[in-house]
Structure 1
Amino acid sequence: MTFGCHARAFAGRPVVTVWANTPVPEVDGPVSWRMSYWDFDDSSDYRLSAGFAAAFDAFLTRMGPSIESLVIGSWGYAAFNPAPIAQLCAAAPRLPRLRALFLGDMTSEECEVSWMRVGDVSPLLTAYPALEVLRVRGGEDFSFSPVRHDALRELAVESGGLSREFVAAVLGSELPALTDLELWLGTPDYGGDTTVADLAPLLSGVPFPRLRRLGLRNAQIADDVAEALASAPVVRRLERLDLSLGTLGDQGVAALLAGQPLGHLSELDLHHHYLSDEVAASVTAALPGVRVDVSEPEEPDEYDDESHRYTAVSE
């Protein structure tokens, strides 16, 4: 599976697209405004899209001062045109009310996630000190630098393969208000070389003292992650734990259930998994007060006498 549709909701608001040269849609209540400009560029010299730059400038002129939540889709052709992070940072004075930002909401037809050239996304936090929600998607040239940000409550990083350097930079950041963290770890085939050892600072519960919702999603190492979470101190203060979209199997869930109590959770999301019917049923039975999602069971592929599991987002 790859991304087949655009986000319908973001930051608790419906997403509404603003098209160039058309009236701004009438809305009833707060929304997340979406701006996108797709243009195929096969020059392969990795330059910013002049078309997107002009379209985004016009978008800001029309909408900027009123926008509280913003979704950026295509920025030209993302395999060749790098993400407009510098332009977004420079636009901060024109977006005085921005509190939520999603960078990279595009389908696989617009650009495969592993091809998306993004760059270092942490300057967005420096440019927008009042930002409360940041979601980013990327693959190629995708990085983060340690940063201090006092307002950020939610950080989500979507990728087919998240590097250990990216994860280390996130965990090395000072984010005292952070309550929600979502990391799509992915597979080694797409640069996802993060290990459980790299997650140790997070699992210790030391960083991000207000963290209440944790997602370690789309992980090839889902069983290893589940085993580590069985005794991880961070779990004790979580309200929601999300291990969905990965290759979670019976071994990981057995370790998780045999570890520390999980009855304090309000939700345990395991959808898109490789659990047997018996083990899937046992999770729900063991946690009667928890909303457990074991939907979307998958079957491993068998070839060359080996069993192969796949994350939900790969290519």
Structure 2
Amino acid sequence: MTVGHYLQEFHGLPVFDFPAADARVELPEADRVAWRISAPTYSDPGDELWGPQFERFLKAVDTRRVRALVVGGWDEAYETSSADIVTALIGANNRLTGLAAVFIGDMTGEDCEISWIVQSDVTPLLAAYPALRELGVRGGSGLAFPPVRHPGLETLVVETGGLDAEVVRGIVGSDLPALENLELWLGTDEYGGDSTPDDLAPLLDGTAFPALRRLGLRNSVIQDAVAAAVAGAPVVARIERLDLSMGVLTDEGAAALLDGQPLTHLAHLDLSHHYLSEAMGERVRAALVPHGVTVVLDDPQVPEDDGDGEVYRYVAVAE
């Protein structure tokens, strides 16, 4: 129930950790990698913090050729928000003129649990980088995303253990005409995930994001309700890849999917980390695989029974 690995690839580029000041490492060409800049979240005296490391990075590489940046940890990320990180990135927009992709919060559970990562309003990055094509964020605490317009953003990924309904409404209320890929980890109410399918209405009814082709509504404690809403959602007719993985999907939600609009046009349906019975899993495959749909049903889960009649199901990533 935690994130256990760092990004290995981002924006189609291998992730390269910007080395420590005393490291004898040859730097790659600036446009051949996604640069990961990360500082200890639990720092000791003498550790280089994120701000000075970023300044050293700007002096060490040809900033005009940098295409992708991955922000890892920052000092006391469990108490200190990403606001200073966002400000620093905005302040470098006249130097990072080729920047196309940013990810903020690439931390594992050992660095900072996903629901402890304190984020901030990340939308000023979109104004500062009109050529940005991809934005990713990990961590929902303190995250803000008021409705915004950006003509070129193609991919938006928000990974959380609990995504606030106001953030969901801000995202789906944004004007992002080029958005092709949207991935939201909705999470659980125990960690602030209080959205409902109603909050997704502009997305599901097809009025938002005319270019959308890949949709992920993942890691949700209300995955059955999400699946039922998706089953009748007009947007699905133009989706090529649908991802409802990592949540607590049961036979009820899967049946709603199959009883709704046809899904045979999909290229890919991901339902991994699920609570489906074997019979329902076979029913899903039988309905879709003969039509050429790749169906992923990996990582089946078994509900936990406390012996007193209470049954517990868990999302893949929460804390």
Asked if 2 retains the 8 angstrom alpha-carbon contact of 1:265 and 1:290, the reply is yes
Aligned letter for 1:78?
A
Counterpart in the other structure of 1:38: 40
Q: In the alignment, what sits opposite 1:290?
A: 293
Q: Deviations for 1:154-205, whole angstroms, at most 9, x for unmatched residues?
A: 0010000001100111111110100111111000001100001111121100
Matched, 1:61 2:59: yes
The aligned residue for residue 73 of structure 1 is 72
- Pairs within 5 Å for 1:1-315: 1-21=1-21, 22=23, 23-26=25-28, 30-40=32-42, 51-63=49-61, 64-83=63-82, 84-288=85-289, 289-303=292-306, 304-315=308-319
Checking the alignment, whether the CA contact within 8 Å between 1:41 and 1:81 is kept in structure 2 is no
CA contact (8 A) 2:267 2:293 kept: yes
Aligned-partner Cα distance in 1 for 2:171–2:102: 17
Query: Cα deviations across residues 82-138 of structure 1 (Å, max 9, x unaligned)?
Result: 211111111111211110111110111111111111111111111111000001111
Partner SS, residue 74 of structure 1: coil
Corresponding letter in the other structure for 2:67: E
- Give the alignment's Cα RMSD to 1 decimal: 1.7
TM-score (norm 2): 0.93
Give the deviation of 1:81 after TM superposition.
Answer: 2.5
What corresponds to 1:45 in structure 2?
none
For residues 50 and 37 of structure 1, do their structure 2 counterparts lie closer, same or farther at Cα, with a shift above 3 Å needed?
A: closer
* Partner Cα distance (1:24, 1:99) in 2: 24
Per-residue deviation at 1:10? 1.2
Distance (Å, rounded) in 2 between the aligned partners of 1:215 and 1:85: 25
CA contact under 8 A between 2:41 and 2:77: conserved in structure 1?
A: no
Deviation at 1:39, TM superposition (A): 4.4
- Following TM superposition, by how much is the alpha carbon of 1:28 offset from its aligned partner in structure 2, in angstroms? 11
**Between the two proteins, what is the percent identity of the paired residues?**
50
* Unpaired stretches in structure 2, ≥5 consecutive residues: none
Q: Secondary structure at the match of 2:127?
A: helix
1:246–1:310 Cα contact (<8 Å) kept:
yes
* Residue 80 (structure 1) shift: 2.2
Compute the TM-score of the two structures, normalised by the length of structure 1: 0.94
Distance of 1:93 and 1:208 partners within structure 2? 29
Q: Distance in 2 between matches of 1:13 and 1:278?
A: 40
Q: Secondary structure at the match of 1:183?
A: strand
Match of 1:281, SS?
A: helix
Mind listing any 5+ residue stretches in structure 1 that lack a counterpart? 43-48
> What's 1:46 paired with?
none
Change (3 A) 1:221 1:120: same
Q: Which amino acid aligns with 1:158?
A: E
For each residue in 1:49-70, what CA deviation from the matched residue of structure 2 results, as whole angstroms up to 9, or x when unmatched?
9821111111111122321011
